[in-house]
Structure 1
Amino acid sequence: MSITFSIFIPFIAAIFVPFLYKRIHSRKIGWFVLLVPFLLFATLASFIPSIAKGETYTHTFRWIDSAGIHFTTYLDGLSLIFGLLITGVGSLVILYSIYYLSERESLGRFYVYLLMFMGAMLGVVFSDNLMVLYVFWELTSISSFLLIAFWYHRKKSRYGAQKSMLITVSGGFAMLAGFIMLHTMTGTYSVREIVVTIGEYSDEPLFLFAMLLVLLGAFTKSAQFPFHIWLPDAMEAPTPVSAYLHSATMVKAGIYLVARFTPIFGGQMIWFYIVSGVGIFTLFWGSFNAVKQTDLKALLAYSTISQLGLVMSLFGLGSTALNEGHSVNFVIYSQATFAALFHLINHSTFKGALFMVVGIVDHELGTRDVRRLGGLMSFMPVTFSIALIGSFSMAGLPPFNGFLSKEMFFEALVNARNLNLFEVSTLGTLFLIVAWLASVFTFVYSMIIVFQTFFGEFQPDRIEKPSKEAPFGMLIAPSILALLVVGIFFFPNVIGNYLLRPALEAIYPSVEGVERLIPQISAWHGFNAALMMTIGVVILGIILYRFMRYWKGIYTIAPLNWNLDAAFNANLILLEKVSHFFTRLYMKGYLKDYLVYIFTFFILAVGGAVLYTGSYSFDFSNDSPITTNEYLIVLAMTVAGISILFAKSRMTAIILNGVLGYSIAFFFVVFRAPDLALTQAVVETVTTALFLLCFYFLPEWKKERSPISTKLVNGLIAFSVGTIVTVLALTVQGNKMFESISVYFEDAYNLAGGKNIVNTILGDFRAFDTMLEVVVLFIAGIGVFTLIKLKVRKEEKDIEDQ
């Protein structure tokens, strides 16, 4: 199976889901959908041995040759990791959703959205062409919008979906501008080709702007400060969606973008400072705000923000290795990238398990509020075990995989400070302190999940549902993830050798022998600075957790209580008010006013430009003589046009307008263009018939009484527009700088095999444009058909009610 085809499999499956959903039991549809990610995961896993040996796979489907846009897929170590996460975690999420979602839900719609998102994410990580990558990038935003708003009857779900859409799509537009700048500099849309040649363009003025715009797209998608505000509100989605989108896939798209573009921009210190600086602050801000949350899902949302900041900061540190060649410093800095990739996988395992645990608690007890929970360990032992494993791994404790990658994170920061990576000497120490404090808060909120939820006194009077352990089927997926959390700790180098090292080679393609420069992952690495920091995190974390009620009041102190959500909402309200104010200025409700605006702008913009530049000039020397027939047709059109202004009935106005249209058809006959004449005659006939049909239902014509001043202004505008159009037409006609393009179309028979030049232009030369026009008409037709069906159903229902 080619990688290109694997991208489209989820989309193809999504097409069949609605038909199968109507014919089989609603819950069974999940088992059909489960086959899609499972087979894709098995297919991608088959590439692991060859990718580990350094092989890559490329497939190109040629698309738009003239623009250099082709559907090119590229599979290497980096894209393989993300592909396995998308399909592997996707399989577990769908298995979990089979038991989590009720049969009363619109499961067909849910799985269509989920498959769309899966296909879009695979398209993002496998695309080598920037434009194709962007299309899939925005498709992830659209499909995630649909998933977050799945329970659209809830106001918070609609708000969360809208918020995520606005922020991520806006970042996507910025990223698109950056991609266009890269193409402008390098002349190619291929990421691999840009990586090879980017050294020649690093001094270009557009280089810095392209870097900043690409980072803006990455930061909005991966919920980096200050764009992180969409992620907590997105938690209104069903728990399977949160476990999939907001722990393992969608938020990792921004991380993938930074990793993929590190070979392009990573050699610049500004890239290091922005990526690491934003990542470190996001790490702290997310962990600091997670502690004050009382909703378990909100707590996990802020913890996800924090963990994404950790990974982002590691990629920033690792990018400096591109300036070190094969030196010892390269080995040290590249370990930061290695740790980022490792924590990327670890986070998907323990955070996916924790989201599913919170979903189980909410599903079985009807609440996620930690103030109403406690003592759940007594009757939910399996759920408690999974929560314990996931939380302790997130806190960075052994024997769980989070401990290994967190230690590597500390080591990377210590090395960066000791090697004077930071141009400002105190900055390295500041980064280290902020990261350590963030880890302390991470430890605290991890303890909240375990001890405030599963220990203490059970409060049955504050629980909405009968207390019991989750069904076996709902426990399978989080149990598998929990086993991975423990298994990776004891066998980390299986992942390190077969997945992480090939991915590292993809990030440092210009450095040969990368795999030999990275040491083995070890659980015990001696009493070094990183271990001392971990011990300090545990000690201070325990103290802060035990005495949390005494210091939690700091969250009410400014500026620690800054609310970016309030600023976001206030800006939206302000934009609505401003737009409403300006809209009321020109939206008068009269078509004639709108025409005045349009024509006045045309006069000022076009007429002003012509006068200012003095570009008008006429040359009639090469014009053919005007015949008597042409004079007569022009006279008829002039009389008809002026007469319309004085028509006293709609029928007269329609007939005079038809005279204008048919006169143009006569012009085509005179100019020996029978095809155009026939087309014009048909269009004019249909238009006249439609006018007659529509005007039949309008009220009686009443002549409007307008002031003389209004008529004079309207006449002046009409005269000015006509004059400008005439001057432009004569200027263009008399100043031909190039050979007419009509010569090319006159060879339509040889180029396209069509004898009718009009049909050939529409069907061949303008085929793409014509196809889009047909699509627009098709969509409009579906809309009309839907409205008619709804009206018929309403009438039938009214008859039944009577």
Structure 2
Amino acid sequence: MSFVHFVILLPFISAILVPFLYNRWSVKIHTGWFVVIVPLFIFIGLLLQLPAISNGETYLLSMSWIPSLGINFDIYLDGLALMFGLIISGMGVLVVIYSIFYMSKEREALHNFYIYLLMFMGAMLGLVLSDNILVLYALWELTSVSSFLLIAYWYERKGSRDGALKAMLITVFGGLAMLAGLIMLTIMTDSYSLREIIASAGVMKDNSLFIPAMILLLLGAFTKSAQFPFSIWLPDAMEAPTPVSAYLHSATMVKAGLYLVARMTPIFGGSALWFWLVSGIGLITLIYGSIRAVRQTDLKALLAFSTISQLGLIMSLLGVGSAALYFDIGNEQELYTLAIFAALFHLLNHSTFKGALFMVVGIIDHETGTRDIRRLGGLMSLMPLTFTIALIGSLSMAGLPPFNGFLSKEMFFTGMLSTSQINMFGFETLTIAFPIIAWIASIFTFIYCLVLLLKTFLGSFHPERLPKNQVHEAPIGMLIPPIILASLVVLIFFFPNILAKYILNPALISVIPIWNLDSFTYEIKPWHGWNTELLMTIGVVFFGLLLVLSIKKWNLFFRFFPERFSLNNLYNTGIDKMEQSSVSFTNRYMTGSIRHYLIYIFVFIVVVLSGFLIYFDAVAFDFSNDADITIYDVGILLAMVIAAFATLLTKNRIAAIVSLGAVGYLMVMLFVILRAPDLALTQMVVETATTALFLLCFYHLPKLGKRVEKIKFKVMNLVVSISVGLIVTILTLTASGHKLFKPITDFFENAYELAGAKNIVNAILVDFRGFDTMLEISVLLIAGIGVYTLIKLRLKGSDVDET
């Protein structure tokens, strides 16, 4: 196992240890002090890989997983994977430190919180480092599951449960679409390796599956990164604790979709559809998120919509930059390559200033008891350090100097302006709208950044409006993580090329593989003269200030838009309608009668199998190769029929169990005659166990009473039972007479050599079908636990009446 494999597995191993540490030390030491060691170790370990990766080296590390299927846990460490790994682990360190002071060890179930957080961290690291697309998908869905648990951490709140469910439904839907796209890539390239798939990009473009795979993969990316119209889950996810919001919804999980688009750009980049979908959806998300953010009165909701907007900005840059693969090497290609560079730069910058802002909002909520802007104000003098951090983060997000957001925002303007200068992909006139939309969205970004500052920290302080009247600065431990992030915001502005050399340029080469570090590196300059981009920034500030001063007048305009037509309301209405329809439909067939349920099952089997046989004209019998029927066979079969009828006709439960067991034991004799001793032994063991269980269960049931059954009841049973028996018999005779494939018995002939088992049935169940058997046992275990729980927790009749 390599170090990088250990980096991925370490959070999962640590998650297993957390409950033991919590039970042993939770009274004395906050569990977070143990957990913070994990991301710190990972961050330092990845940081040591920077010199080699910055020189253009990459690492492919393989670990065997399911070799018989050609599936390995392959790790590919390049510039893009390393950048995301550093963000995930670095932000992980700061978030865990922040959570130590934010989450109370007396009132919170911290072991659950850190287990979920470590699960998510491991899944994200594995996602960005995996070269195997099946492993990538498994970890992609694990991020959805762990984020569901984190969002619903305060599960006693309805908002937390609803937000977690919405996030799960939307992201898992996208994940399933992405899985279909990944399978299509595998079909086109006959490989599970991302590197090999990227290397085969040239031969895939004419394949009929190329466009469907592209659309399905983008569905996965758009849902995970909260792109329009799937962005509705992110605001509701703000019900999670603030450390979760700072980690998942600003720095990591929402960036997974951006990672997927960046990673797939070498495959689909240069395609017109990819360009228009990625850049177009990104710009729509950018303007939609920025406008919605202005309307919010909850600070976390404001940051949620601002996150949506910023994710749209980065997505649009990735779309514009993909045009670099459309041109031959030259000025045009270099121009669009810089859009990819800007996307990576802003992605990293966003993690710093947005992470700091989320932590600031958590501090405000922690110290004042509210996040409602209408109640806040005048906090600057009471919380000067928090105000300073908020000032740095907000102005960076607004794109003003001397903060890192200014540098990447200017590059964003450059990328948008470049699309209006060069005609490509058709619809050339539409690209003129790119810089216009970008400029308008930047104005609204400036507005909501000022709203966050002015409404929260300036103005008059009204303690009577706050749940907590005694407001003071947060503990230093809670301030250290956002101070570090705010410091990075400033340092990156003054020393951006350290970041460019060691992180951004190597990541750029991973996305646009036609470049290399020897022939192309990009240096970031804070001053480019009085160019169009600077004039656009001045215009943003000027018009932004005018609109902020008159916000009460023009903000009323949004009230004319009916809330019932909002995406969120359409989702909620749709879910309610689906639930009502499901309940109505379910009540029609869930009658509480086991007989009805069996009829549904058996009728379905008969209809499907008979329809299949008729449609394919598959009914044909061939008895020429069958063995002779002996008198012993006939005698055993007759005895089985008699025992079966006895089971149906007897009114004594013990007699029914005995006759039913007789059917099973007669089957054992039939296996012996047919020379299948392994099957006979297995059948005998199973029959003995089930007979004993039947006797145990029926012992506790009330005695059978006399009952009168209608003739219709018996006729229906007769028709269904004969139909099932007839269709199974026809299917068996048809299958036995027509062998389309080589008998599977040949595969198990060397079972003893492969598995060391003398009983072939045991070898099949335990070794050849080990996963299947394990899952079956798991299902039985879960069902048993459920039954036991229901029995232990069942209410008495009197209790039900009283409630």
Q: Same-fold call, TM > 0.5?
A: yes
For residues 273-303 of structure 1, what are the alpha-carbon distances to aligned partners after superposition, in whole Å with 9 as ceiling and x for unaligned?
0000000010001000101111111100000
Structure 2 CA distance, aligned partners of 1:376 and 1:515? 51
Structure 2 partner of 1:205: 208
Structure 2 partner of 1:9: 10
1:427 matched to 2:430? The reply is yes
Q: CA deviation at 1:360?
A: 0.7
Q: CA RMSD in A?
A: 1.9
| Contact 1:416–1:422 (Cα < 8 Å) also in 2 | no
Superposition map of 1:437-448 within 5 A:
437-448=440-451
Match of 1:502 among 486, 506, 517: 506
Structure 2 CA distance, aligned partners of 1:617 and 1:368? 74
CA distance change for structure 1 residues 739 and 262 in 2, over 3 Å: closer, same or farther? closer
Match of 1:478 among 482, 487, 492: 482
| Letter in structure 2 aligned against 1:349 | T
CA distance change for structure 1 residues 98 and 554 in 2, over 3 Å: closer, same or farther? same
Q: CA deviation at 1:779?
A: 4.2
Structure 2 partner of 1:417: 420
| Letter in structure 2 aligned against 1:745 | F
Structure 1 partner of 2:496: 492
For residues 140-185 of structure 1, what are the alpha-carbon distances to aligned partners after superposition, in whole Å with 9 as ceiling and x for unaligned?
1111111111111111111111111111111111111111111111
| Contact 2:295–2:555 (Cα < 8 Å) also in 1 | yes
| Letter in structure 1 aligned against 2:430 | L
With the length of structure 2 as denominator, give the TM-score of the two structures.
0.96
| Contact 1:422–1:428 (Cα < 8 Å) also in 2 | no
Secondary structure of 2:61 counterpart: strand
Structure 2 CA distance, aligned partners of 1:748 and 1:653? 39
Structure 2 partner of 1:800: none
| Contact 2:78–2:506 (Cα < 8 Å) also in 1 | yes
Superposition map of 1:304-323 within 5 A:
304-323=307-326
Structure 1 partner of 2:455: 452
Structure 1 partner of 2:90: 88
Structure 1 partner of 2:99: 97
Secondary structure of 2:571 counterpart: helix
Structure 2 CA distance, aligned partners of 1:53 and 1:788? 64
Structure 1 CA distance, aligned partners of 2:793 and 2:590? 31
Structure 2 CA distance, aligned partners of 1:619 and 1:356? 75
1:186 matched to 2:189? The reply is yes
Bigger drift between 374-383 and 530-539 goes to 374-383
Secondary structure of 1:74 counterpart: strand
Match of 2:261 among 247, 258, 261: 258
| Contact 2:232–2:567 (Cα < 8 Å) also in 1 | yes
| Contact 1:29–1:108 (Cα < 8 Å) also in 2 | yes
| Letter in structure 2 aligned against 1:537 | V
Structure 1 partner of 2:177: 174
Structure 2 partner of 1:79: 81
CA distance change for structure 1 residues 786 and 40 in 2, over 3 Å: closer, same or farther? farther
| Letter in structure 1 aligned against 2:776 | E
| Letter in structure 1 aligned against 2:102 | Y
Q: CA deviation at 1:519?
A: 3.5
| Letter in structure 1 aligned against 2:41 | L
Structure 1 partner of 2:393: 390
Match of 1:770 among 773, 781, 787: 773
Structure 2 CA distance, aligned partners of 1:501 and 1:291? 35
Secondary structure of 1:378 counterpart: coil
Structure 2 CA distance, aligned partners of 1:716 and 1:528? 85
| Letter in structure 2 aligned against 1:684 | E
Q: CA deviation at 1:619?
A: 2.0
| Letter in structure 2 aligned against 1:286 | G
| Letter in structure 2 aligned against 1:710 | F
Structure 2 partner of 1:343: 346
Match of 2:681 among 672, 678, 683: 678
1:717 matched to 2:720? The reply is yes
| Letter in structure 1 aligned against 2:482 | P
1:44 matched to 2:64? The reply is no
Q: CA deviation at 1:777?
A: 4.2
Secondary structure of 2:65 counterpart: strand
| Contact 1:68–1:188 (Cα < 8 Å) also in 2 | no
Q: CA deviation at 1:790?
A: 7.7
| Contact 2:95–2:247 (Cα < 8 Å) also in 1 | yes
Structure 2 CA distance, aligned partners of 1:112 and 1:763? 31
Secondary structure of 1:625 counterpart: coil
Aligned length: 793
| Letter in structure 2 aligned against 1:528 | N
1:729 matched to 2:739? The reply is no
For residues 445-492 of structure 1, what are the alpha-carbon distances to aligned partners after superposition, in whole Å with 9 as ceiling and x for unaligned?
000111111111111111221111111111101000000000000000
Structure 2 partner of 1:126: 129
Structure 1 CA distance, aligned partners of 2:649 and 2:563? 72
| Contact 1:492–1:521 (Cα < 8 Å) also in 2 | yes
Structure 2 partner of 1:573: 576
Secondary structure of 2:62 counterpart: strand
Structure 1 CA distance, aligned partners of 2:298 and 2:324? 41
Q: CA deviation at 1:561?
A: 8.0
Structure 2 partner of 1:22: 23
Q: CA deviation at 1:268?
A: 0.7
Secondary structure of 1:324 counterpart: coil
CA distance change for structure 1 residues 273 and 359 in 2, over 3 Å: closer, same or farther? same
Q: CA deviation at 1:759?
A: 2.0
Bigger drift between 525-534 and 97-106 goes to 97-106
With the length of structure 1 as denominator, give the TM-score of the two structures.
0.96
Structure 2 CA distance, aligned partners of 1:790 and 1:703? 33
| Letter in structure 2 aligned against 1:84 | L
Structure 1 CA distance, aligned partners of 2:72 and 2:792? 41
Superposition map of 1:300-699 within 5 A:
300-421=303-424, 423-465=426-468, 466-509=470-513, 511-513=514-516, 516-558=519-561, 562-699=565-702
For residues 18-53 of structure 1, what are the alpha-carbon distances to aligned partners after superposition, in whole Å with 9 as ceiling and x for unaligned?
111111145432111111111110110001110000
Structure 2 CA distance, aligned partners of 1:440 and 1:739? 69
| Contact 1:319–1:337 (Cα < 8 Å) also in 2 | yes
Structure 2 CA distance, aligned partners of 1:266 and 1:111? 39
Secondary structure of 1:294 counterpart: coil
Q: CA deviation at 1:743?
A: 3.2
Secondary structure of 1:433 counterpart: helix
Structure 1 CA distance, aligned partners of 2:518 and 2:587? 65
1:284 matched to 2:250? The reply is no
CA distance change for structure 1 residues 752 and 23 in 2, over 3 Å: closer, same or farther? closer
| Contact 2:79–2:508 (Cα < 8 Å) also in 1 | yes
| Contact 2:369–2:467 (Cα < 8 Å) also in 1 | yes
% of aligned pairs identical? Answer: 58
Q: CA deviation at 1:613?
A: 3.4
| Contact 2:419–2:434 (Cα < 8 Å) also in 1 | no
Q: CA deviation at 1:206?
A: 1.1
| Contact 2:505–2:522 (Cα < 8 Å) also in 1 | no
Secondary structure of 1:404 counterpart: helix
Unpaired runs of at least 5, structure 2: 797-803
Structure 1 partner of 2:801: none
Secondary structure of 2:75 counterpart: strand
Q: CA deviation at 1:59?
A: 0.9
Q: CA deviation at 1:560?
A: 8.7
Q: CA deviation at 1:532?
A: 0.7
Structure 2 CA distance, aligned partners of 1:423 and 1:683? 69
1:151 matched to 2:138? The reply is no
CA distance change for structure 1 residues 752 and 470 in 2, over 3 Å: closer, same or farther? closer
1:234 matched to 2:237? The reply is yes
Match of 1:70 among 66, 69, 72: 72
| Contact 2:116–2:149 (Cα < 8 Å) also in 1 | yes
Secondary structure of 1:351 counterpart: helix
Structure 1 CA distance, aligned partners of 2:499 and 2:765? 56
Structure 1 CA distance, aligned partners of 2:23 and 2:374? 42
Structure 2 CA distance, aligned partners of 1:370 and 1:82? 33
